[in-house]
Each structure stands twice: as C-alpha cells, then as structure tokens.
Structure 1
Amino acid sequence: MGTLTVEGADFGYGDGDPVLSGVTLTARAGEVLAVTGTSGAGKTTLLNAMAGLLSPRVGTVAVDGTALTGRDHAVSLDVVLIPQDNGLAAILTAAENVSVAVIATGGTPADARRRTAEWLEALGLSGQANQLIDELSGGQQQRAALARGLALHGDIVLADEVTSELDAANRQRVLDLLRAEAARGATVVFATHDPEAAAACDRELHLADGVATWPRP
C-alpha cells in the first residue's frame, strides 16, 4: 500500500509566516504514526497537507513517489482524511453519512449497506444508525465520522484528533481499530494531543514552534 513522504516542506496560509518549516517524514504501510503537539502547533495543517488540501510552499508531499496535486488527486490515491471537525452532513443520519461516502468512492449500494453496518457496529453506534447527526452527542458524532472514514478502506488513513471527545473505553476502541487498519497494510497517521494515545502508536513526530522533531523515531 501507500508510503507517504514529506520532504523539506514548509506549510502556511496566505502571505503569513509559515506554520511549519522544514518538515521531512516518511509514514509507512503497516504502522501508526502519531503527530503530537499543543493546540495550534500545526497538527491539522500537516494532515491537511498530507490529504492534498494544502500545498507546500517549498518541498513536496508524495504518495509512493507521486507528488500530490490536490485533494481529488489524493482521493484517487486512496488517501482518506477523518477531519477534526468531523465533516458530517447534519441533514443525514449516521448510517446515511457512511453509505454516501462509500458510494461516492465507487462502492455499490450493497457494499455501502454492508460496510455501514459493519463499521457502525465496530464503533458502538448500531443503535444510533438512523439518528440524525444533530441528535448525536459530540462523542457519537466523532465515532460516526470515524465509521465513515474507516469504511472507505483507504491505503492511507489520516485521523485528526479523533479521540478528543471520547471516554477511555471508546478511546481504546478507536486505537484498536486504527491498529487494525495498520495490520491490514494501511498507513495510519494519527494527530493527537493525548500522551497516552500517542504512546500506543509505533512512532511519534512532535510539532512545536513551527518545527518537527522525533521523540520516538
């Protein structure tokens, strides 16, 4: 599956100072890479760049040696982003959010039904499948977004602060599912400010003051 590389890259918005400078990393299939740092350190910026939503000012972001040219290109390379803000459609139910995403990425209606049921159950949401997103708690919405992202079976899975609203039991459930994604051969990048969650990952990249360092390379 996909190897994700960032080489000598600076990231920023508009004409402002770069949020991150000189970032170099390789995320490999079969591993879970934690990206840590305080709020505002640039974790979401880095994951957005890995997802093709933000182009580097200098340097490259590439999948298997192919430089990303935008979000559509990243999607075509099976890069799945589970965003911090969940990105769920409020007018749809939890199940519909998952099914629509599966169909939009080429799945059949039968695929969508099967994967929706499988992943809502895996995340403890079978009982909320037919509830509208606005009827769910923050933690349930977070798990619904995870179900939608994991149902896409991405080669690269980018999970941005996906345990921030979860209790200990559900946090462990999510960590186990991310580990299972890596075990099937996916490349998993998990942005978190939770030291215990980061410790459960294979390696850790830490962001502070615009610079990336490796507490656990």
Structure 2
Amino acid sequence: MLSMHGASVGYGNAPAVLREISLTVRPGRVLALTGSSGAGKTTLINAMAGLLRPRDGTVTVDGQPLRDRDHAVEQRIVLIPQDNGLAPILTAAENLQVALVADGVTPPGARRQTAAMLDLLGLAGQADQLVEELSGGQQQRTAVARGLALRGSVLLADEVTSELDAGNRQRVLELLHGEARRGAAVVFATHDPEVAAACEAELHLVEGRAEIIRD
C-alpha cells in the first residue's frame, strides 16, 4: 500500500508545487487524480513513483519510506508517464520485451506476453513498427501495454488517454479497472471528467492542495 502523509513537493529552489498532501492508494481500487493543467498532477505522480523526494512529510510503501525510483521499482510500483517513456528507435514489441526481460521474464515468455498485450490494446498490426513511426495514440497504447505487462502492485498512469478516441479510451479504462480487480492499486491522472467519474475514488488538486471528492 502506498501512502503520503503531509507531503510537500517542488522542484529545485522554487516554491513547492504541492503542500501538505495526504492520501492512501488502496489495493483493488482506481483513484482518479484530477485538476486543471498545471495543478500538479504529474508532480504528485512523480513523487509517488520515487522520482521526486518530498521536502516535508513522507511517502511510504507498505509502511517503509520510499527512497527513490530504484526502490519504487523493487516494490513493484509501475509508472506509465505522460510522455510515454518509450525508446523511439525500438519497435513497439521490442519496447515491451526489453522491459519484461529486465523484470526477469525469459525471452520466450517476454515474446508471448508482448504479443498478447499488444493484441489486447489493438496493436498487433503495429508490433514491428518503430515507435517513432507510430501515431501519438498508438504510442500511448504501447506505453499502456508495457505498463500492464509488468503487473505492478501499484500502477501510476499519467494522462494516458489524452490522445485516444472514445473507443480506445474506454478500452484503456477497462484494462486499468482490470488491474484493480487483480489486486493492484491504480492511480489515474486525468483531465477527463467522464473518465474520472468511472473511478471508485477521486482526489482533486487545486492551488497546491488536495481535495477528496470521492473516497
């Protein structure tokens, strides 16, 4: 379980972007993280992913302080970043396979899981295309496929439906809810009110602070 207690987060010497944030990401649920552009959604996701250390307060996983991104990976905290984080000179399939092999999956197993996951995201026909040749929406779905394939205990998804049409947006949302049913804790940063309404809980960021809309 991932928790934040009184956390303030910022960059360099600039004023804190987020102040006194407290939340708990519960297994088996999807938490929608909402707020206007610049409200701090990505900053909060990055703090939960171990990429940013809070200036004050704590971020803990299973009661232990989250040290950094390497520690987060060890604790099965999977991040699907807003910029997709894919290697553009690798194919869609290679991006998944590299991540799976690094996670301890055998190469044959990685190939099987990659094929199944890309098919699930409607990308079987793009498996051998370079990421740089894919559309923005196809890149987003590839990043989602990779994140889902890693089967984290916590899944952090940052605006991963912003370039998708209605059908693919619904497909991704259903898959994220499927991860929650598997027992993962899912945090989904989104600016789409319809997507947020489909989640079990919602945390809204405004002026650097968090308001619980639904819990």
Q: What RMSD, in angstroms, separates the aligned Cα atoms of the two structures?
A: 0.6
Of residues 145, 153, 157 in structure 1, which corresponds to 2:151? 153
Among all aligned residue pairs of Structure 1 and Structure 2, give the percentage whose two residues are the same amino acid: 67
Runs of 4+ that moved beyond 3 A: none
For residue 137 of structure 2, what is the aligned residue in structure 1? 139
For residue 186 of structure 2, what is the aligned residue in structure 1? 188
C-alpha displacement of 1:110: 1.9
Mind listing any 5+ residue stretches in structure 1 that lack a counterpart? Answer: none
For residue 208 of structure 1, what is the aligned residue in structure 2? 206
TM-score by length of 2: 0.99
AA at the equivalent of 2:27: A
Deviations 1:35-79 (A, max 9, x none): 001111000000000000000001111111111100000000000
How far apart, CA to CA, are the structure 2 residues paired with 1:185 and 1:66?
Answer: 20
How far apart, CA to CA, are the structure 2 residues paired with 1:106 and 1:124?
Answer: 25
How far apart, CA to CA, are the structure 2 residues paired with 1:196 and 1:213?
Answer: 18
Instruction: Give the number of aligned pairs.
Output: 215
For residue 97 of structure 2, what is the aligned residue in structure 1? 99
AA at the equivalent of 2:77: V
For residue 17 of structure 2, what is the aligned residue in structure 1? 19
AA at the equivalent of 2:100: V
**3-state SS of 1:158 partner:** strand
C-alpha displacement of 1:111: 2.0
**3-state SS of 1:95 partner:** helix
How far apart, CA to CA, are the structure 2 residues paired with 1:20 and 1:152?
Answer: 29
Of residues 38, 41, 53 in structure 1, which corresponds to 2:39? 41
Deviations 1:92-132 (A, max 9, x none): 00000000001111111122112101110110000000000
C-alpha displacement of 1:215: 1.2
How far apart, CA to CA, are the structure 1 residues paired with 2:91 and 2:27?
Answer: 32
C-alpha displacement of 1:193: 0.5
How far apart, CA to CA, are the structure 2 residues paired with 1:65 and 1:201?
Answer: 25
C-alpha displacement of 1:134: 1.1
AA at the equivalent of 2:195: A
